[in-house]
């Protein structure tokens, strides 16, 4: 029954995120907010809302904080190793200069910062750490807004149309309600599955929960690769990874300090390794692409990690 509940939870989560983003975008457009601002806020936040709500639910309960941490760390691993890996196999992924100079390095700094902060607080991401992460997030958004004002053509906000006020409000409230309902199904089901399998919550958080909350990124990036808009796939994944750590983990640890779990330091280093590999890939050829064989290598590394992680003692 728990397997069915967690699948239903993921489905509700994805629908909720879709309704929330569409409703909020339509509402913002109705009040004459520019596509630039909508793209940098509502649309950019959209793919991270499943992680955010699942984390808030997990962090609000003292016995599920492992899921709050591993959901973010696992999602960032899956974003690069699995989603970018699959997208690159479909079509080589090109990178923009701004991504190589700022976005990808920021996605490397993020896990290293968490590693540094947690190491200094007995392997705990404290409320103070959360505030530091949010300061980094605000700085990141400031840089992004400045860059987007100078180069608006780099931002793809899509065609956003104004929406009737009553419909936008219903969609926003309905989306939020669905996100909370989905998270309330996922978190306890994940805990019970961990107990049945005889593994730690961290294993379930790094795999099942992380994969489920990464489904919006997976769909967006693979579809973009099929359409040969591969730079969108890279921007989507890197942006999501930065949001996940600086914003989602920052808010979660302010709600409740998040104690570390066995293997957290290694997992954070693997997230950092993912960004290092992307930097190497995009700077190792004249076209600045993540090539198909790069994608295959990313998937292979994740498969090896998965076998090691599942086989290690609880």
Where does the pLDDT of residue 108 fall: very low under 50, low under 70, confident under 90, or very high at 90 and above?
A: very high
- Give the pLDDT band (50/70/90) at residue 183: confident
Evaluate whether 75 touches 212 at the Cβ level (below 8 Å).
no
Q: How far is CA 138 from the centre of its chain?
A: 17
In a domain, 42, yes or no: no
**Can you give the residue range of the structural domain that contains 277?**
62-154+188-311
As given in the structure block, the two tokens for residue 284 are 């190792």
The Cα–Cα gap between 164 and 310 comes to 49
**Residue of higher predicted confidence among 113 and 47:** 113
pLDDT of residue 106: 94
Is 4 part of any domain? no
Residue 53: inside a domain:
no
Q: Is residue 161 part of a domain?
A: no
Summarize pLDDT for 117-130 with one digit per residue, the tens: 987 656 789 999 99
Q: Dihedral of CA 167/168/171/173: which sign?
A: negative
Is 175 part of a structural domain of the chain? no
Cα angle, residue 235 at apex, residues 96 and 126 outer, rounded to 5°: 125
Q: Is residue 132 in some structural domain?
A: yes
219-238: pLDDT as tens digits? 777 777 777 766 677 877 88
How many folded domains does the chain comprise?
Answer: 1
pLDDT band at 291 (very low <50, low <70, confident <90, very high): very high
Backbone angles phi, psi at 290, to 5 degrees: -95, 110
Q: What is the CATH number of the domain that holds 265?
A: 1.20.1420.30
Please indicate, yes or no, if residue 244 is contained in any of the structural domains. yes
Work out the pLDDT band at 157, boundaries 50, 70, 90: very low
Residue 223 is assigned to a structural domain of this protein: yes
CA 82 remoteness from chain centre: 13
């Amino acid at each position: 029954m728990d397997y069915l509940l967690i699948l239903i939870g993921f489905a509700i989560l994805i629908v909720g995120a879709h309704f929330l983003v569409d409703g909020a975008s339509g509402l913002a457009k109705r009040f004459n907010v520019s596509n630039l601002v909508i793209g940098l806020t509502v649309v950019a936040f959209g793919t991270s809302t499943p992680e955010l709500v699942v984390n808030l639910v997990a962090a609000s309960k003292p016995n599920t904080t492992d899921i709050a941490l591993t959901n973010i760390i696992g999602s960032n691993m899956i974003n690069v190793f699995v989603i970018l890996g699959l997208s690159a196999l479909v079509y080589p992924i090109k990178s923009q200069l701004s991504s190589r100079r700022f976005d990808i390095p920021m996605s490397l700094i993020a896990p290293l910062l968490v590693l540094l902060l947690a190491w200094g607080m007995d392997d705990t991401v404290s409320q103070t750490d959360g505030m530091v992460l949010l300061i980094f997030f605000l700085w990141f958004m400031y840089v992004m807004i400045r860059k987007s004002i100078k180069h608006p053509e780099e931002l793809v906000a899509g065609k956003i149309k104004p929406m009737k006020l009553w419909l936008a409000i219903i969609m926003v409230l309905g989306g939020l309600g669905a996100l909370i309902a989905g998270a309330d199904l996922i978190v306890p089901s994940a805990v019970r599955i961990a107990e049945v399998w005889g593994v730690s919550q961290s294993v379930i958080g790094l795999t099942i929960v992380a994969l489920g909350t990464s489904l919006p990124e997976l769909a967006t990036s693979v579809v973009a690769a099929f359409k040969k808009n591969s730079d969108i796939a890279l921007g989507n994944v890197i942006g999501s990874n930065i949001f996940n750590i600086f914003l989602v983990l920052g808010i979660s640890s302010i709600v409740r300090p998040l104690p570390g779990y066995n293997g957290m330091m290694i997992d954070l280093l693997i997230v950092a390794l993912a960004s290092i590999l992307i930097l190497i890939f995009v700077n190792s050829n004249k076209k600045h692409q993540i090539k198909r064989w790069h994608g295959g290598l990313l998937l292979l590394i994740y498969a090896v990690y998965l076998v090691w992680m599942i086989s290690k003692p609880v």
